[in-house]
Amino acid sequence: MTLFRSQLGALERAMAHATTYQEYQQACEAHDQLSGADDWKAKDPCRLYDYRLIRKRVQRIKLAQSQNDIHSLMSILHEGLHGNLGNIANPELLGHCKTGTKHLIEEFINQVVSALEHIYNADEAEVDFYDKLSFFEETAHSFGRSCLMLSGGAGLGFFHCGVVKSLNEQNLLPSVISGASAGSIIAAMVGTRTHTELLEALSAEFIYEHFQNWRLWAGLGRNSILDSRALENTLITLFDLTTFEEAYKKTGRHITVSVSPADLHQYSRLLNAKTSPNALIMQAVRASCAVPLLFTAVQLKAKTASGDIVPYIPNRRFADGSIMADLPIEGLSRLYGVNHSIVSQTNPLAVPFLSSSRTQAKTLSSITFRHLRQLVKANSIYAFDVMEQIVPNRSSKLAIHKVRSVIDQQYVGNINILPQKQLRNLMQVAANPTLKSIEDLIISGEKATWPQLDVIARNTRISETLRSMLRKLKAREARLFDHTPERIME
Q: State the virtual CA torsion across 380, 383, 389, 392 in degrees, nearest 10.
A: -100
Helix (H, G, I), strand (E, B) or coil at 88: coil
CA distances from 172 to 103, 157, 169, 346 (A): 21, 20, 8, 21
Q: State the virtual CA torsion across 63, 65, 71, 75 in degrees, nearest 10.
A: 60
Residue 166 designated active-site? no
For residues 339 and 83, the answer to whether their CB atoms sit within 8 Å is yes
Q: Give the residue from 149, 175, 185 showing the smallest Cα distance to 438.
A: 185
Task: Catalytic residue, from 146, 151, 166, 181: name it.
Answer: 181
Separation of alpha carbons 185 and 234, rounded Å: 10
Separation of alpha carbons 125 and 119, rounded Å: 13
Task: Catalytic residue, from 146, 184, 276, 320: name it.
Answer: 320
Helix (H, G, I), strand (E, B) or coil at 336: helix
Residue 429 φ then ψ, to 5°: -60, -45
Q: Give the residue from 473, 459, 472 showing the smallest Cα distance to 82.
A: 459
Helix (H, G, I), strand (E, B) or coil at 97: coil
Residues whose CB falls within 8 Å of the CB of residue 271, separated by 6 or more in sequence, listed in order: 244, 256, 257, 258, 259, 279, 284, 300
Q: Give the residue from 360, 51, 328 showing the smallest Cα distance to 180.
A: 328
Alpha-helical runs (H) found in 318-434: 322-325, 329-336, 364-390, 394-407, 423-427
For residues 141 and 418, the answer to whether their CB atoms sit within 8 Å is no
Q: What angle do CA 164, 166, 172 make, to 5 degrees?
A: 80
Q: Is the dihedral of CA 302, 303, 304, 310 positive or negative?
A: positive
Residue 181 designated active-site? yes
Q: Give the residue from 452, 383, 440 showing the smallest Cα distance to 204.
A: 440
For residues 164 and 190, the answer to whether their CB atoms sit within 8 Å is yes
Pairing relation of β-strands 216-217 and 226-227?
antiparallel
Catalytically annotated residues? 181, 320
